[in-house]
Chains A and B, each alone.
Chain A
Amino acid sequence: MPLAEGVELKEIWIKNFKSLKDVKVRLGEFNLLIGPNRSGKTNFLEALELLKAVYFPRPGEVNPFLRWWGYDRVVWRRDESLPITIGLSLAMAGRDVKFEVTFTGIGGKFALLKEVVEVNSTVRLEKVGSVLKIKHDPEFLNRGLKEAEENERVKHLISSIRAKSELANYSVDIRGKGTLLKDVIYSLTEISLENVSILYSPAKRPWLRGILLLSPNVDFGKQRTSFIMFIRNKLLDLLNNILVLKAVEPRKIKEVVSRPAKEKTLTSDASNLHNVLYNLFMENRAKMPPRIEKAIKDIFGPDVYVSFMLTEDGRIFMRVYEGDMPLDPPMISDGFYKALVVLTAIETRPSILVIDELENALHPKAIQRLIDELKNAGCTVIAVTHSPAVVDIVDPEDIVLVDRDEEGATVMKRVEDPEALKRKLAERGITLSEGWLYGRIA
């Protein structure tokens, strides 16, 4: 699902993943990463792939680092004693939210070391090993307690679970059960009052005994719920729906004639394009989704369209037509498949869509249209390019400059003053890509 209305991914920080020793980057809806080879652009994309794998591993996957041949291949300078940290800053329903996870693979075993969920000026949850630390903002706590104590239904909970004097900052040993995001928050019982919700450990889960936390409320549809449960659900949706496209090889995709399967998400090499697109096609009553249909016509010609047929042995075969003439895979350009991958990715409604080497196989005109689609995708898009033509299509505000420092660590920067840069380039009569390649635009 795309980022819900009112949810905005503002910042990502990563520590000790490959060349990303310690980077923090501000994000907009569309972000174009540019920089020399080996600067760490793809590492940034892979960090997001790893973040998803931590919470949503592939079936049977017990160690997400095996995708990279082991922990020592992904940690900074192969120093296994270092943990990896990935954090997100978000704005959700008007509140600033911070989420951070720290993990390791030392000794060949994946372990979550620390998780933090913090709602600015209200409550912070931190799980370190088996210990859950809960910290309330004193002012928020006082207001919440006052409301709770005036309510007959909940006032008995306050002192029966934990002394009021402890609530500002306390720890509970939950004996290491599960993750904060997936298990602990979900297991709490919540009662929502007018302005505040009370979340506490239910009797049937003794391992959570002693937890009592106060959360602001949020109106979600027709329901009023605790903000903590709301962001827990949104964060899990967000992590589960990260889509990283890298090493997309149109020639490989062409060769696939697969059996129909209920695949709704593209793999990172988009080798399952036919199946995902077929499912979108069937969901739209055996028609291409209009976004894809219109973009294909605009890019490749008004008489070009895509349809599906089943082969005699029950496999799905994607058929492209130019007018009445059917085109079989060897007659179709790589750029067509690449455009179809990007458009299909948007249509699957990811939360964060990450695309490595966006420009590969595509004419600048096709890239223009795809960038327009990406800018209107309703999700956070992070794309990587080496192409000056792509740089000249976007605005300076969209650009994230990636480079390495003397130590070999990745450095990521935004253009500090886009307006001043625009003025400077206009005065000199040079394009943004020329400024990037031959000058300094940060």
Chain B
Amino acid sequence: MAGSLEAFLIPEDTYGASFLKALVNRLKAEGLLPPGVNIVKDWKLPGRCRPKLERMVKAAYDDYDRIIVVADAEGRDVRGVRKELEIHIPDFCRPKVRIIILDYCIEEWVCVGLGVRFGENPVRALKDYLRKQRGAKTDYHKYMLPDFVPELDLDRLSSYGSFREFIGALMP
């Protein structure tokens, strides 16, 4: 169906999955993604031995329009991390696979969306922001990620490279 897309999401961890699914819902609600776009299934990226990724992609290939991998570079060379993942994507699956590499981790999108400078450590920047700017009594934990979705400035986030790639990956 025109304007629809069913995606299989492979994020770095399960917190990322919750966050990204909530984000997609907001993007659809604000008209930045077509309403027919859906993340139908998600499965955490395998531990750092990635050959399992090949089996996941092969298994999902026939059943989804798009397979989206969102991986953390954790400060390493983004191209190198991309290459590490690409070797596990079989050639016949490549047309459907999109790989999004975050410079550090998913918290960098939260920082960008909230206007927080994060240097080389988005998690620490987010913790500091919550403690100092908002007077939060409890420390930041990853399970809190989806709670930030309604607060993110999507205009600001839309100028951020990996986020733009993510939107592009979800376009039918």
- Which A residues contact B (CB, under 8 angstroms)? 290-291, 294-295, 298, 365, 368-369, 372-373, 376, 392-398, 418, 421-422, 425-426, 428-432, 435
| Interface residue? B137 (CB, 8 A) | no
Given A372-B142, A426-B88, A431-B46, A298:B18 Cβ within 8 A: yes
Q: List 20 A-B contacts (CB under 8 A).
A: A294-B18, A298-B17, A298-B18, A368-B44, A372-B14, A372-B15, A372-B142, A376-B141, A392-B47, A396-B47, A396-B49, A418-B48, A426-B84, A426-B87, A429-B51, A431-B46, A431-B49, A431-B52, A431-B55, A432-B47
Question: Is A365's CB under 8 angstroms from B15's CB?
Answer: no
Within 8 A of A (CB), among B17-52: 17-18, 43-44, 46-52
Contact A395 B18 (CB under 8 A): no
Report which of B43, B51, B84, B144 forms a contact with A431, defined as CB distance below 8 A: B51
Seen from chain B, the residues whose Cβ lies within 8 Å of a Cβ on chain A are 13-15, 17-18, 43-44, 46-52, 54-55, 84, 87-88, 141-144, 146
The dominant DSSP class at the A interface is: helix
Q: Given contacts A431-B46, A431-B55, could you give 4 more A-B pairs where the C-beta distance is less than 8 Å?
A: A294-B18, A376-B141, A396-B49, A435-B49
Give 10 closest A-B pairs by Cβ, nearest first.
Answer: A432-B49, A395-B47, A369-B14, A395-B48, A431-B52, A368-B44, A394-B47, A372-B14, A294-B143, A372-B13
* Measured CA separation A392–B14 after assembly (Å): 15
A373 and B51 in contact (CB under 8 A), knowing A294-B18, A393-B46, A431-B46?
no
Given contacts A290-B143, A426-B88, A431-B55, contact A298 B47 (CB under 8 A): no
A365-B141 contact in complex given A395-B49, A426-B49, A426-B87, C-beta closer than 8 Å: no
Please give, as numbers and ranges, the residues of chain A lying within 8 Å of B84 by CB-CB distance. Answer: 426
Q: How far is the CB of B63 from chain A (nearest CB, A)?
A: 16
Shortest distance between the CB of A252 and any CB in chain B (Å): 28
Q: Is there contact, CB below 8 Å, between A376 and B142?
A: yes
Cβ–Cβ contact B15 & A422, under 8 A: no
User: With a CB–CB cut-off of 8 A, which chain B residues contact A425?
Assistant: 49, 51
Contacts of A373 in B (CB 8 A): 143
A430 to B15, Cβ gap below 8 A?
Answer: no
Closest to B88 in A: A426
Residues of B within 8 A of A294 (CB): 18, 143, 146
Distance A397 CA – B49 CA, assembled complex (angstroms): 10
B52 partner, pick from A376, A392, A428, beta carbons under 8 A:
A392
Query: A290 to B52, alpha carbons, bound, how many Å?
Result: 32
Given contacts A295-B143, A373-B143, contact A396 B44 (CB under 8 A): no
Residues in chain A near residue B43, CB distance under 8 A: 365, 368
CB distance from B9 to the nearest CB of A (A): 13
In angstroms, how far is the closest chain A Cβ from the Cβ of B82?
Answer: 14
Within the complex, the shortest CB–CB distance from A283 to chain B, in Å, comes to 13
**Cross-chain contact B143 with A422 (CB below 8 angstroms):** no
Residues of A within 8 A of B15 (CB): 372
Query: In the complex, are the beta carbons of A290 and B144 less than 8 A apart?
Result: yes
A377 CA / B50 CA spacing, docked (Å):
25
Minimum CB–CB distance from A415 to chain B (whole Å) comes to: 10
A431 to B48, CA, bound (A): 10
Minimum distance in angstroms from A367 CB to a CB of chain B: 10
Of the candidates B18, B50, B51, the one having the most CB atoms from chain A within 10 angstroms of its own CB is B51
Residue among B17, B48, B87 facing the most chain A CB atoms (10 A cut-off): B48
Residues on A with beta carbons closer than 8 Å to the beta carbon of B13 = 372
B46–A392 CB distance below 8 A: yes
Q: Give Cα A429 to B51, complex, Å.
A: 5
Residue of B nearest to A424 (CB): B49
**B121 to A: closest C-beta gap in Å:** 16
Question: How long is the Cα–Cα vector from A397 to B47 in the complex, in angstroms?
Answer: 10
Residues of B within 8 A of A369 (CB): 14
Residue of A nearest to B15 (CB): A372
- Which residues of the partner chain A approach B146 to less than 8 Å between Cβ atoms? 294
Is A291 a contact of B143 with CB atoms below 8 Å? yes
The smallest C-beta distance from A265 to any residue of chain B, in angstroms, reads 21
Among residues of A, the one whose C-beta sits closest to the C-beta of B139 is A378
A331: shortest Cβ distance to chain B, in Å?
26
The answer for the CA separation of A397 and B155 in the assembled complex, in Å, is: 39
In the complex, the chain A residue whose C-beta lies closest to that of B13 is: A372
Chain A residue contacts of B44, Cβ below 8 A: 368, 372, 393
Q: B49 touches which one: A291, A365, A376, A421 (CB < 8 A)?
A: A421
A430 B51 Cβ-Cβ under 8 A: yes
Contacts A368-B14, A368-B44, A426-B87 hold; do A291 and B141 have CB atoms under 8 A apart?
yes
The residues of A that contact B48 with a CB separation of less than 8 Å are: 395-397, 418, 422
Contacts of A422 in B (CB 8 A): 48-50
B50: which A residues are within 8 A, CB to CB? 422, 426
B147 nearest CB across to chain A (Å): 9
Residue of B nearest to A292 (CB): B143
Complex Cα–Cα for A421 and B44 (A): 21
Give CA–CA (A295, B13) in the complex, Å: 13
Alpha-carbon distance between A291 and B48 when the two chains are bound, in angstroms: 26
The smallest beta-carbon distance between B4 and chain A, in angstroms, is 22
Q: Report the minimum CB–CB distance from A304 to chain B (whole Å).
A: 14
Q: How far is the CA of A425 from the CA of B48 in the complex (A)?
A: 11
